[in-house]
Structure 1
Amino acid sequence: MIKNLHHYALVAVLGLLALPLAAQSQSYPNKPISLVVPQTAGGTNDIVARLVAPAFGEAIGASVVVENKPGAGGNIGTQGVARSAKDGYTLLLTINSAQAINPALYKNPGFDPINDFVPLYYIGATPYVLVSPPGSPYKTLADVVAAAKKRPGELAYASAGNGTISHLLGAMLNTSAGIEMQHIPYKGVAPAINDVLGGQVPLAFASLPSALNYIKAGKLQAIAISSAKRSSAAPDIPTIAETYPDCVGEVWVAIFAPVGVSADVIKKTQAAMDKVMARPDVRDKLAAQGLDLNPVPPSKLPALLKDELAKWVRIVKVSGAQLD
């Protein structure tokens, strides 16, 4: 009898010792999740992150903290996530310019978009818009092209930085229209827009979410957008493609995790985001910012990333852009 009691006691102790391990595997998440945005505040992915984070936190059962970690066109924040613990508590909410253009643009971006990351969830895509300040003579694309042809190299446009989509769209327009606009890079879209608002630079390419409130308030003039078809959020703005069909480029937003996270983390993250994107209030807010929410399922996201890498390599080569 005593022997049996010892046996049961030993089994109970071993069971208690095993509990923390079992609980650990089942309890993700049990602390705050960091959602890293590798750009400054005010850009597309920052706007999307701050709209999505509260609902994501509710759905997954933990607080979700948005952290802006800008620098080197998104490379610094992206590298940081690639090198972070593979426990699901550091995720990357990024745009295709950082994930698909930087590897073509930088000699050493410090990360491999295919081998360092697991694509978790595609949220949506949005065009860029070419804008000018109120009262500007540049009201239409024809106005811009005529002025650029009259004064080659003088008409300037601002972008969110070297090698960003806003930079490369200007390079694409130069090629498509046979013009030569001068590129002025900024450290993020917010300072670029500020200098257009202040009249320091006549034009800028900005993502529709970052510019739409200014356009609606009459503080910026919308000249044309960069999608293949007009945006449902701003149907009155013509597309560049209506005049130059090959001049198309959009920014899409997706969530990535560092390679090595568990299948459990991937499953829970994707299930939580499915709940987020099923919420009408979240969808309405994102759509109001100009995002097209046509879904790309997680299984198709790796193929989309590879297609984008191939596309932007060609455009970077044509633009002649190269950064160390």
Structure 2
Amino acid sequence: MKHPYRAAFAAALIGCCAATAVSAQDYPSKPIRIIVPLPPGGSNDVLARVLGEEMSKTLGQPFVVENKPGAAGNIGTDQVAKARPDGYTLGIAPNQTVAVNPALYPKLPFDVQKDLMGIGLMATLPMTLVVPSSSKAGSIDELVAMAKAQPGKLTYASAGSGSPQHMSAEIFQSLTSTQMTHVPYKGSNPALVDVLAGTVDVMFCPINSALPYIQNGRLKALGVTGAQRLQTLPEVPTIAEKVPNFASDIWIGLIAPAGTPPEIVQKLNTELNRALKMPAVQAKLAEQGIQAATSTPAELDRMMRDDRKRWAEVIKRANIRVD
């Protein structure tokens, strides 16, 4: 004889699965919110708007971008982590927020591994080490010599404590045995303004923001952070050419709250990758110095996990602390 409670549970389970399948099939039926945990105008914001617009063409619903900056990206990321896992709240995830911050901030209000899940990689973004055109430093060797001659006198700007710019500068100092003074800002753009004005001496700046000023002569590029020289700046060496073992990079992914139905995650990943492979989209991103990149949800989850481990080791070895 079948137990009535078991039969009821089985019926409920079947109904739940059927509802999930239907909701995934009908998804999306209303606008989708993308939370950008950093200020407007940067690479994360550009990615959200360009790809959201393209994905809306086939998904049939608008993507509404909301900038929620603050606390090195932790405020916006926390909102994604605590959102309903129904596919209608997504988040832009630079490796700063999902790989670096967990090692820098011991009491985050969210757990990346438990509360968030990957949809897909969106882009990689090289940075360049820049100084104002008025700087006496014309190369990495000259910058290192200046920093060693007067420890702590040179200042470097970043988009905030724990940002990729901050981390890159800390690694650079550790490997070159130099000491510069950190000047954190709320985003790359205000930091770059003060570097251009000569108020701050040095910055690791995303290439999309720095390139126009390098080209018009207002900034000098001393090195790039990637493993290879950039096609747009072929004469500028990689930092690793001058500073062995230097490695620092930016990647940006699209995430969702943990528990988002896998059918919805896969649907979003398919549309994201379709958009990223479009030549027109790639060209639009390339104009901003952003290199389109794709992955599966599982691959992004693995990247987040592996990068958290890598950055935790770097932070511990370099004794990096947030201000």
If the length of structure 1 is used for normalisation, what is the TM-score? 0.88
1:51 Cα deviation (Å)? Answer: 2.4
Counterpart position of 2:228: 229
1:24 Cα deviation (Å)? Answer: 4.5
1:25 Cα deviation (Å)? Answer: 4.7
Say whether 1:143 aligns with 2:142: yes
After superposition, what is the alpha-carbon deviation per residue over 1:207-248, rounded to whole angstroms, capped at 9, x for unaligned?
A: 112222332333322121111111234333211001112111
Matches within 5 A, 1:57-68: 57-68=56-67
Counterpart position of 1:165: 164
| Counterpart contact for 1:104–1:316, Cα < 8 Å | yes
Does the C-alpha gap of structure 1 residues 211 and 112 become closer, same or farther in structure 2, counting only changes over 3 Å?
A: same
Secondary structure of the 1:169 match is: helix
Does the C-alpha gap of structure 1 residues 153 and 60 become closer, same or farther in structure 2, counting only changes over 3 Å?
A: same
Matches within 5 A, 1:101-116: 101-116=100-115
Counterpart position of 1:187: 186
Does the C-alpha gap of structure 1 residues 323 and 238 become closer, same or farther in structure 2, counting only changes over 3 Å?
A: closer
Mapped to 2, the partners of 1:195 and 1:21 lie a distance apart of 51
What amino acid does structure 2 have at the position aligned with 1:214?
Y
Counterpart position of 2:16: none
1:294 Cα deviation (Å)? Answer: 4.7
Say whether 1:308 aligns with 2:307: yes
1:298 Cα deviation (Å)? Answer: 2.9
Secondary structure of the 2:213 match is: helix
Mapped to 2, the partners of 1:251 and 1:21 lie a distance apart of 35
Does the C-alpha gap of structure 1 residues 320 and 266 become closer, same or farther in structure 2, counting only changes over 3 Å?
A: same
Secondary structure of the 1:114 match is: helix
Unaligned runs of 5+ in 1: 1-19
What amino acid does structure 2 have at the position aligned with 1:103?
P
| Counterpart contact for 1:208–1:290, Cα < 8 Å | yes
Deviates further, 173-182 or 87-96: 173-182
| Counterpart contact for 1:224–1:237, Cα < 8 Å | yes
Counterpart position of 1:17: none
1:311 Cα deviation (Å)? Answer: 1.1
Secondary structure of the 1:145 match is: helix
Matches within 5 A, 1:118-267: 118-267=117-266
Mapped to 2, the partners of 1:23 and 1:301 lie a distance apart of 26
Mapped to 2, the partners of 1:24 and 1:309 lie a distance apart of 33
1:48 Cα deviation (Å)? Answer: 2.0
Counterpart position of 1:284: 283
After superposition, what is the alpha-carbon deviation per residue over 1:173-221, rounded to whole angstroms, capped at 9, x for unaligned?
A: 1111121111111111111001111221111111112222332333322
Counterpart position of 1:317: 316
Secondary structure of the 1:31 match is: coil
What amino acid does structure 2 have at the position aligned with 1:193?
L
| Counterpart contact for 2:132–2:201, Cα < 8 Å | yes
Aligned-residue Cα RMSD (Å) equals 2.1
Mapped to 2, the partners of 1:231 and 1:213 lie a distance apart of 15
1:59 Cα deviation (Å)? Answer: 2.9
If the length of structure 2 is used for normalisation, what is the TM-score? 0.89
Mapped to 2, the partners of 1:21 and 1:253 lie a distance apart of 29
Identity of matched residues, %: 37
| Counterpart contact for 2:120–2:294, Cα < 8 Å | no
Mapped to 2, the partners of 1:167 and 1:127 lie a distance apart of 14
Unaligned runs of 5+ in 2: 1-18
Secondary structure of the 1:88 match is: coil
After superposition, what is the alpha-carbon deviation per residue over 1:41-84, rounded to whole angstroms, capped at 9, x for unaligned?
A: 23221222222221121132211111110111010000001101
What amino acid does structure 1 have at the position aligned with 2:55?
F
1:101 Cα deviation (Å)? Answer: 0.6
Mapped to 2, the partners of 1:148 and 1:64 lie a distance apart of 46
Counterpart position of 1:28: 27
Deviates further, 131-140 or 159-168: 131-140
Does the C-alpha gap of structure 1 residues 322 and 295 become closer, same or farther in structure 2, counting only changes over 3 Å?
A: same
